[in-house]
Amino acid sequence: MFKVLKTSGSARRGILTTAHGEVQTPFFMTIGSAGAIKGLIPSEIRDLGGEIILANTYHLHLRPGEEVVAKAGGLHKFMNWDGAILTDSGGYQVFSLSKIRKLKADGVEFQSHLDGKKIFLTPEKAIDIQLKLGSDIMMCLDECAPYPAEREYVEKSIALTTEWAKRCRTFFKKNRRFVINHEPTTNAPRLLFGIVQGGIYPDMRKKSAKDLVKIGFDGYAVGGLAVGEPKDVMFEVLGKTVPLLPKDKPRYLMGVGTPQDILESVERGIDMFDCVLPTRNARHGYLFTSKGVVRIRNEQYREDFSPLDPNCGCMVCQNFTKAYLRHLYISNEILSLRLNTLHNVAFYQNLMKGIRHSIEEGRYNEFKKGFLRNYR
C-alpha cells in the first residue's frame, strides 16, 4: 500500500496506493470538508495535479447525512470525484468546537453549530460514518489537546485517544467489508490511520506513538500541532516524534500549513499534508506566489498589468493581470473567488511536485534553500 521510492536526507518520495488510485508522496490535500472544494469543481482539482482531497466526517454527518451519501453510492459518486478521499474523524472539532461539546469517556457530545441539536460521536460511530461515506483513508477519533495544556491534562488526553483508537480499530476490522464501493480502481483495501497526540511533551508523544504502533494501523498521523504553539516548538516536537513512527508506513502531519511549514516538515520525514490556507486565503485575497504572498487588494496593484506569478503556469497567471484580479476582488465579483482559488491550489500542487522532483534527484536541501531564499 505504501512504498518509499527515494530519499534525500530524511525527506521521502513514495507512492501510496488507495482504492481509488495511486497518490504520489509527499502530497497536499485540498480541503473539501462538506464534500466540495469552495469555488472549484472536482475535475479542476485533477487538472491542477491533485490526486486526493480531504472531507470531514462531522460536517457531512450534519448535512446531508451519511445515509444520503451512501444511497448516492458513496462520496466519490455523490461529488463526482474519481481520486482518493481521506476523511477526518471529527476529532479536530473536539478541539475547535470546545465551547459546544462535552468530552466523555465513551465519546463526545456536540451541540450542532447549525441548529443546536445534540450529537453524540463515539469511536465506533465515527468509523461507521466514514464507512458509509466510502472513504479511502479513515481517521481514528481522537482528542486534540489545546495549547497550552498542563501535563496532567495531556496525560489523560492521550490515554483517551489510545482507548478510542483501539475501539476504532476493532470496529473497522469487523465492518470494513461493508464499505461503499464506488468503482474502486485498484485492489487496495480501505485504510485506517491512528493519530499521535501528546501536546508539546516529548515523553507523552513517545508513549502515544508506542501505544498506537502496538495496536497497528495502515498509517500514522501527527495531530495536536499548529494549534498555537511557537513554530520552533512545533518543529522540535515533530523532529522527536517522526522517528518513533514505522518507516514503512505513511506519515501525516495534520492541519499544516504554510509553504515554509511544509518544507520544514518534509525535511523531517512527513509524507502527507492538509490545510485550509490555499482556499481560505484565496477568498480573502491572499495569493501565494514564488516571491511570497500577494495581498491583491492593495493599491499598488491597481495599475499592475503583469501576471500574478511569472513562474506559474496556471491559467490564472497565463491569462490575467494583477490589476484585473484586484478589480475583481474589490468589486466582490464571484469570479475573484474562482480565480484566486484556482491559483492558490495550483501553487500548492506545484510546490509538492517540485518537492517530489528534488527528492528524486537527491537535492531536496538545495531545493528548500532556493525556495525560501526567494519566498517573502
The cell numbers describing 364, all together, are 531536496
Classified as helix, coil or strand, 286 is strand
> Residues, the chain, total?
376
Question: Which stretch of DSSP H or E encloses residue 287?
Answer: strand 286-289
The cell numbers describing 140, all together, are 481514528
List 82, 88, 261, 309, catalytic entry: 88
Work out whether strand 21-25 and strand 11-18 pair parallel, antiparallel, or are unpaired: antiparallel
Name the phi and psi angles at 361, rounded to 5: -90, 0
What's the burial of 230, exposed, middle or buried (CB within 10 Å: 0-12/13-18/19+)?
exposed
Cα gap 296→299, rounded to integer Å: 8
Cα gap 1→53, rounded to integer Å: 18
Cα gap 181→17, rounded to integer Å: 16
AA identity, residue 19: A
Indicate if 218 belongs to the active site. no
Cα gap 312→273, rounded to integer Å: 21
Cα gap 268→354, rounded to integer Å: 17
Report CA torsion sign: 184, 186, 188, 192: negative
Classified as helix, coil or strand, 129 is helix
Question: Which stretch of DSSP H or E encloses residue 2?
Answer: strand 2-8
Cα gap 373→202, rounded to integer Å: 31
Residue 145 burial (CB count, 10 A): 27
With beta carbons less than 8 A apart as the criterion, state whether 340 and 329 touch: yes
List 142, 218, 274, 309, catalytic entry: 274
Indicate if 115 belongs to the active site. no
Classified as helix, coil or strand, 146 is coil
Q: Which residues are catalytic?
A: 88, 274
